[in-house]
Amino acid sequence: MPIRSRLNKSGKAEWDMERNKVLQNRFILSELIKKGIRLKYRRSYLGIIWSLLEPLLTMIVLTIVFGMLMGVHDRAFPVYILSGRLLYGFYSQSTTTALKSIRANSAMIKKVYVPKVLYPLSGVLYNFIIFLISLIVLAGVSAVLGVRPTMYLFQMLVPLFVLLLLSIGTGLILSTVGVFFRDMEYLWGVVLMLIMYTCAVFYLPEKLLNSRFGWVLKVNPLYCVISNFRSAIFGEWMNWKYLVYSFTFSIVSILIGALLFYKNEDKFILHI
């Protein structure tokens, strides 16, 4: 049997095992999600309202700075920036939370048996819930600036779903590597910076896409997701090549992440 076929079958088997664990422990997963949301806003006066204010304030700053630098006077430019900022922000926060999840819950792991995959998964999911709430800001800003919804708006569900899959896959990989390699927390911060600059969060990518460096954006699955999400906002069809690529990348990352996690989760107790 070819090596690739064996890897695909092995990865699918591990993913099925991890999925069954999640389904059998839905109540524990929901409690971990609630706990994550409570801890995120513990001792915060604004609480979850900050998840609405932070992207709004960031949008204002980026619009002023980069709008002036690039000479962009389009009334909808703040919506362009905010949409990219929200999606990148979720990916950054959810994957970072997943990366730290095993070590952050080391005391519980040592005392109570809970399927370990629930920790990184809950980290991604509770950040996704907060992210969905923050989309209220995007809707409000779009209404104020005259970006009206069209029939294409419904297709935003597709890139949002792909974004969730991509975050879960990346989170599983990082949570495993982070147990054995503590410096991954610092390295991932650097990688996230590189990802941000290749996501066209605050600049228009047309010139770069048409240059010889256009591949830098196109190989970034998060850029493909953000681009398709923006298409839904501004009333355009999605780029199907971007969709196929980002979806395939997400599924592969989940399979690899599930395989790595399942093969190494019994060793976690020795390193936390």
Q: How confident is the model at residue 129 (pLDDT cuts 50, 70, 90)?
A: very high
Tell me the two tokens of residue 42. Answer: 């513990």
C-alpha to C-alpha distances, 12 to 5, 203, 252, 255, nearest whole angstrom: 11, 38, 10, 6
Q: What is the pTM of this model?
A: 0.87
In a domain, 73, yes or no: yes
Environment class of 224 (CB within 10 Å of its CB; exposed 0-12, middle 13-18, buried 19+): buried
pLDDT per residue over 101-112, tens digit each?
A: 999 888 888 888
In a domain, 208, yes or no: yes
- Structural domain including 55 reads 11-266
Gap between the Cα atoms of 205 and 217, Å rounded: 8
In a domain, 186, yes or no: yes
Residues 202 and 66: beta-carbon distance below 8 Å: yes
Q: How confident is the model at residue 196 (pLDDT cuts 50, 70, 90)?
A: very high
Residue 69 reports pLDDT greater than 80 = no
In a domain, 6, yes or no: no
Residues 134 and 217: beta-carbon distance below 8 Å: no
In a domain, 33, yes or no: yes
Per the model's pLDDT, the better-predicted residue between 216 and 261 turns out to be 261
How many structural domains compose the chain? 1
In a domain, 2, yes or no: no
Gap between the Cα atoms of 159 and 222, Å rounded: 10
Q: DSSP character for 116?
A: T
In a domain, 3, yes or no: no
In a domain, 225, yes or no: yes
Block residue for tokens 């900050």: 50
Amino acid letter for position 245: Y
